[in-house]
Amino acid sequence: MAINPNEKATLVIQNRDRNTSWLLVIATFCLIAASLFFLLVAFLNKPDKEFSIPTSFTIEPGTSVKQITKNLANLHVVQSEHLLYFMISLFHDPKDIKASTYLFEEAITTRAVAQKLVTGDFDNDLISFTHIEGERATHIADEAEKTLTNFDTARFIELAVPQEGTLYPETYRIPKDFTADELVGLMTKTFSEKTAKLTAEMTSHPLGHKGVISLASIVEREANTVESMKMVSGILQSRIEAGMPLQADASIEYVLDKPLKQLTAEDLKVDSPYNTYTNKGLPPTPIGNPGIDAIIAVLEPTPSDFVYYITDEDGNFHYARNFDEHRSNIARYLR
C-alpha cells in the first residue's frame, strides 16, 4: 500500500526530532560528565589536608614515574597519585624529572608539584642529620646544636622530652636552618608514618600503646640484634607477668646518663622511679627512642623458659633459666 506523501514527511520529521532529542541527551550527558570530571580534577589538584611539617623527598636514579607519584601520595604531598601521573604525562616529559632530594616546605597544588619535579626545583643545600636507634632527646639536641645554624636547644628539649619514644630514628635530609619545632615535628610525624601499620596491634597489646614503646626503648638499649631483641623482649615480658622487677641496666643508664659498661653495683641502688631494679613494672616514660625492630620485638617476642640474660665483652648473649645458671654465666663470661 502506497504511503501518503504527507504521512512520509511526518515520519521524517518525527525521526529527525527523535534523533535530535537523543543528540541533546547525549550532549547533556557529556556536558555533565565533563563538568564532574573537571570538578574532580579541581578538587584533587588542591593540596592534601593531611600534609604537615616540611617534608623532604628523595628520588633515586631510575625510579619510575608511577613509583614517584605513589610515594608522594603516601607522604600526603598530593591527594592523588593518578592525577599527578596524568599531569606529568600530559604537560611535561617524564624524562625531565630530576633525581635528587626535594623539600616541600608548604602545601602546594598537584600541578605545582609536577612543575617542581620536572624543573629540578630542589634544594641542594639540604644536609643529612642522623638520629640513631635508642638515642634520647637530650642527646639528639646535642647533635643538632652542632649541626644546625638556627637551632634552639632549650626549645627542642622542651618539646622533645615529652615526646620521648616517638622521635623516630632516621637519617633526615633537612635544611641547615631547620628549627627545633620543625625537627620535633618531622621526627614525630615520621614515627606515626613508620608505625601506622602497627598502631592497632600496639594499642591492643596488654602493655598498651605507651607501654609497648616504653618496653621497646629498653629492648633497644639492652639488645643488639633482631634475634636478641625478640629474646630479651620475651624475657622482660615474662618478668612483668610474674611480678618481677625488670632489672634492666638501660634504665639506670637513663637516670645517670652514664654508659652501660661504666655502671657499678652502687649505681643500681639509685633512688629514681626509672630504677627497674628497685621498682617493678615499666618506667614512667620511654628511656629513649626505639627503632621499628625493637617495637616489633615487643609485639613478636621469642617465647622461652629463660628468666635472666647477660652480654659478654663481645656482645654475645647468654641466657639462664634460674638464678644459679645466671650466676654461673656471670662467673664464666664477665669475670
Q: How confident is the model at residue 296 (pLDDT cuts 50, 70, 90)?
A: very high
Query: In the listed set 136, 171, 194, which residue is the last one of a domain according to the structure?
Result: 194
pLDDT digits (tens, 9 = 90+) for 20-37: 666 666 766 666 666 655
Asked if residue 297 and residue 249 are part of one domain, the reply reads yes
**Which of 93, 118, 143 represents a domain boundary (last residue)?**
118
Could you tell me if 227 and 286 lie in one domain? Answer: yes
- pLDDT (tens digit, 9 = 90+) per residue, 55-88? 777 887 788 888 988 988 888 888 788 888 888 8
Pick the closest to residue 55 from 126, 141, 138 (CA basis). 126
Q: Are residues 221 and 297 in the same domain?
A: yes
- The Cα diameter of the chain in Å comes to 121
Q: Are both 224 and 291 inside the same structural domain?
A: yes
Tell me the CA distances in angstroms from 31 to 17, 23, 24, 35, 44, one per residue in order: 21, 12, 10, 6, 20
pLDDT tens, residue by residue, 274-285:
999 999 999 999
Say yes or no: 299 and 215 in one domain.
yes
Sequence letter at residue 280: K
Instruction: Give a yes or no: residue 318 inside a domain.
Output: no
The residue segments making up the domain with residue 141 are 127-194
Cα separation, 97 vs 312, in Å, equals 51
**Averaged pLDDT score across all residues of the chain:** 84
Distance CA 143, CA 226 (A): 26
Does 320 fall in a domain?
A: no
Residue 90, domain CATH? 3.30.1490.480
pLDDT for 101-133, tens place per residue?
A: 787 877 888 888 888 888 776 655 678 888 999
Residue 54 and residue 178: Cα distance in Å, rounded? 10
pLDDT band at 139 (very low <50, low <70, confident <90, very high): very high
231 in a structural domain? yes
Residues 6 or more apart in contact with residue 251 via CB below 8 angstroms: 218, 274, 275, 276, 277, 283, 287
Asked if residue 295 and residue 219 are part of one domain, the reply reads yes
Q: What is the pTM of this model?
A: 0.69
Q: Are residues 175 and 98 in the same domain?
A: no
Residues 132 and 104 in one domain: no
Q: How many domains does the chain have?
A: 3
**Does residue 103 sit in helix, strand or coil?**
strand
d(CA 79, CA 88): 15
Q: Which three cell numbers stand for residue 302?
A: 621469642
Residues 209, 297, single domain; the answer is yes
Query: What sign for the dihedral angle of Cα 67, 68, 73, 79?
Result: negative
> Would residue 334 count as lying in a domain?
no
Domain termination residue (choose one: 194, 220, 246): 194
Pair (134, 224) in one structural domain: no
Residue 152 Ramachandran class (φ > 0 left, ψ -120 to 50 alpha, else beta): beta
